[in-house]
Structure 1
C-alpha cells in the first residue's frame, strides 16, 4: 500500500493540477532552450536542439502511445505490470539504437554524449507515463498533474543552475536526469501502491499489447518525426545557429497544443464511456466543443504571433529574428493542425478505431519526406515552416473525416 489519500478531489482540483502538469511539461522545452541559448550561446543551443529532437523521437518509441490506451483500458485487458514491462523493453532497445545512430551520423564525443543524456531524460519521462496512466484511469489526474509539475520543475531548475556553473551541457544533463529519478521516487512511487502493485512482467502478452498499440505508436512516432523532419534537414545542410532560430520560432506552436491538452485530456475517459454506452449526441457535443476550442486557440495565437511574436521572441532569447514573421504564422497554423490531429487520434484510440491512424500518418510521413528537403533548400526558413505545417493539415483532415464516418455508422445502428 502506498501513501494514504485522504480525500476525493474536486473537479476544480483535477483541472488545476492537470493544467499545471501539462503547462510544466510543455513549457519545459521552451525554458531549457532559453536557458541554453542565454547562458551557453546559440551554437550550444543548436546542439541541444537536434539532441532534444532525437530525444523526442526516442520518447515516442518508449511511450508507444500507451498512455491513452492504458488510461481507457476499462476492462483490464492488460495489467499494470505488463504496461511497465513493455516500456522497460522499449527503453533498452531504444538506447541501443540511439547510441548506434550517433556513430552513424558521425557526431563527435561531446555531441553524442549530449544526445544520449537527453534521450535518457525523455525515456525517464516515458517510463513514468505508466504511473500517469494509472492515476488517470482511477480518475486521479490531480496526482498525475502534481507529479508532472514537481518532477519537471525540479529537473529543469537543476539543469539551468548547472548551465550557470558549467561551460558545457554534460554535467547539467547528468544533474537533470538524477533529479528526475528522485522526482519519480518522491512523487509517483509513493502513490502507486494505493491503486496497484508496483511490479514488472515480461511475458507473451506484452507483444499483444504492443501490437494493439502499434497504430497509435505509428501515429505518435510520425507526429514527432514530422515535427522534427525540418530540424533533421537543417542539421544536415545548415548551421547550429539556423537550427536554433528554427527551434525558437517553432516554440509558440506548443502553446496551442498546451491549451488543447488542458481541454481534451480530462475528457478522454468520458468520450470512451459515451461511445461505449451509445450516447451519440453527447459524444458529438463533446467533440464539437473540443475542436472548436482548438480553432479559437489557433486563430488567437496566430493573430498574437503576427503582432507581437517576433519582437517578443527576439527579446526573450537574445537572438535577432527580424524577417521571420510570416514563417512564425505558418508554424502557428501548423501547430493548430497538429493539435487537431492529436485530439483526433486520441478520440479514435478512446473509441478503439486505431486502424485509421496508421494510414493517415503514413500519408503525412511520406509527404514530409518528399517535400522537406526541396522546400528547405529552395526557400530556407520558409520552406522549413511549410514542411512543418502541411503534413499536420493532411493528418487532421483524414482523421476528422474518419471520426465523422464512424459516428454516422454508429448512429445508424
Structure 2
C-alpha cells in the first residue's frame, strides 16, 4: 500500500489556505445571498441561529480536534475521540432544543435554530475526522473537503431560500450539504488514514499505528470504554469551557444587539463582522498547519524553535490586522456598497472598528494555538472567563447607549485582555521549556 507521507509545513499551509479561502468565501456568500434575496432581518435571523447553537456545540466538542492534532505521544486512539464526540453531539442537540423551547422565539426562528443545530451536528462529527487527518499532517484532505462543502452549502442554502422564501429552507439546505460531505468524503478519508497508519510508520507515527492495532475493534468505529473516556473528558473539559467562552465572547454582542436593537441591526452587524473572516482564514490555515509542529517542538523541549515559530505567527497576525484597518478606513464605504446594499455602507465607521477588533483577535488566536500545542489547557479556562466577562460588561454598558458601535468596542476590550494574558502564558511556557532543557524531562502541562 502506498504510504501517505506527511506534507511539509509550506504545502500544508497552501492547501489549508486554499481550502479555507473557498470555504470562507462560500460562508460569506450565504450572508450575501440572504442580504440580496431577503433583508437585514433575514440575515439577523440566520445569525441568531448561529449565535444560539455555537456556544453549546463548542462546549460539547471539547476542542477534541486540537487535542488529537497535538497528541504527539499517541495517548488515545481515534475510536476514543469519535466515541466521545458522538456523545457530546447528541447532548448538544438536546441542550439546544431545550434552550430554543425555553427562550420563546417565534416559530420560524425556532425552526431556523434547530435546522442549524442539525448542520452543526454533522460539522462536529466531521471535525473529529479532521483532527485525525491533521495529526498525520495531511491538510490537503481537509482542504478538499472544505472546497466541496463550501460551494455546496451556498448552493443548497440559496435553493432553499429561493424555493421557500424563508431562512428555514436555507438552513435545511445547509444541513443537507454538510451531511452529504461527511458521509460522501470525510469518513472515507478517515478510513484511508487509519489503514495507512496500520501498515506501520516510522518515528512518532509508530505510536499511533501501534495504538490503533491494539484496539480490538475496527478503528473507524467509536469506542466507549468508561475509564478511557473519563480520562479524556478530564483532559479536554477545560478546553470545552474555553471554546464555549470564546464562542460566547464572539456572540455576546449579538445577544445584546438582538435584545436592545432588534434583528435588523443584528443583521447589519453580522454582515460586517463576517468580513473579519478574511484575515481569520489566513490565521486558521497557518495555525492549523503549524500546530502539530509546535507540539513536537514543545514535546522535544526545543525552546528556540517553539519561540521562533510563535513569533513568526504573531508577526503575521499583526500585519493582517494593520492591512484590514487600512482597507476599512480608505475604502470601507464602497466595499460595503458593492458587497451588500447602500444601507450597510452607511455604517462604514462600524466596519473600521470591527477591523481593529479583528487584528487583535488574529494575534490572540495564534497565541491560543500556541498554548494548546504546549498542552496548557486548564489555564485557558480562567483566562477566557476574564475575556468573556470583560466583553459582557462592556456590552452591557455600551450597546444600550452606543448601539452597534458599542458592540465593536466591546470586542476590542475583550481582545486586549486576551492578548495580554495569552502572551503571559506563552512566555511562561517558553520559560518552562528552557528550564526542562537542562534536565531533559518533558515540559508538558495540562
- Superposition RMSD on alpha carbons, in Å? 1.9
- State the SS of the aligned residue for 1:252: helix
Task: Return 187-196 or 85-94, whichever deviates more.
Answer: 187-196
Partner of 1:198: 220
- The alpha-carbon deviation at position 165 of structure 1 amounts to 2.5
Q: 1:189 to 1:99 in 2, by over 3 A?
A: same
- The alpha-carbon deviation at position 59 of structure 1 amounts to 3.0
Q: Distance in 1 between matches of 2:7 and 2:314?
A: 25
Cα shift readout 1:28-74 (whole Å, capped 9, x = no counterpart): 43211111111122222211111122232233124221111111112
- The alpha-carbon deviation at position 379 of structure 1 amounts to 0.9
Q: Is the 8 A contact 2:44 2:263 kept in 1?
A: yes
Partner of 1:29: 27
Find 1:359's aligned residue among 371, 378, 382: 382
Q: Distance in 2 between matches of 1:327 and 1:148?
A: 30
Find 2:408's aligned residue among 381, 385, 389: 385
Cα shift readout 1:362-397 (whole Å, capped 9, x = no counterpart): 111211222212210011121111112211210111
Q: Distance in 1 between matches of 2:28 and 2:367?
A: 25
1:333 aligns with 2:333: no
Residue pairs, 1:11-410, within 5 angstroms:
11=8, 13-196=11-194, 197-204=219-226, 205-410=228-433
Q: Distance in 2 between matches of 1:182 and 1:6?
A: 27
- State the SS of the aligned residue for 1:321: helix
Q: Is the 8 A contact 2:336 2:345 kept in 1?
A: no
Q: Is the 8 A contact 2:159 2:173 kept in 1?
A: no
Q: Distance in 2 between matches of 1:13 and 1:403?
A: 26
- The alpha-carbon deviation at position 114 of structure 1 amounts to 0.3
* Number of aligned residue pairs: 410
- The alpha-carbon deviation at position 300 of structure 1 amounts to 0.6
Q: Distance in 2 between matches of 1:53 and 1:10?
A: 35
Q: Is the 8 A contact 1:62 1:126 kept in 2?
A: no
Task: Return 81-90 or 145-154, whichever deviates more.
Answer: 145-154
Q: Is the 8 A contact 1:246 1:381 kept in 2?
A: yes
Task: Return 54-63 or 181-190, whichever deviates more.
Answer: 54-63
Q: Distance in 1 between matches of 2:397 and 2:91?
A: 33
Q: 1:191 to 1:85 in 2, by over 3 A?
A: same
Q: 1:221 to 1:319 in 2, by over 3 A?
A: farther
Q: 1:107 to 1:317 in 2, by over 3 A?
A: same
Consecutive unaligned residues of structure 2, counting only runs of 5 or more, are 195-218, 437-446
Task: Return 403-412 or 346-355, whichever deviates more.
Answer: 403-412
TM-score, length-scaled by structure 2: 0.87
Q: Distance in 2 between matches of 1:334 and 1:36?
A: 25
- The alpha-carbon deviation at position 317 of structure 1 amounts to 1.2
- The alpha-carbon deviation at position 176 of structure 1 amounts to 2.3
Q: Distance in 1 between matches of 2:345 and 2:145?
A: 39
Cα shift readout 1:152-194 (whole Å, capped 9, x = no counterpart): 3212211112222321122332232122211112211222222
- State the SS of the aligned residue for 1:281: helix
Q: Distance in 1 between matches of 2:374 and 2:362?
A: 19
- The alpha-carbon deviation at position 406 of structure 1 amounts to 2.2
Q: Distance in 2 between matches of 1:8 and 1:370?
A: 49
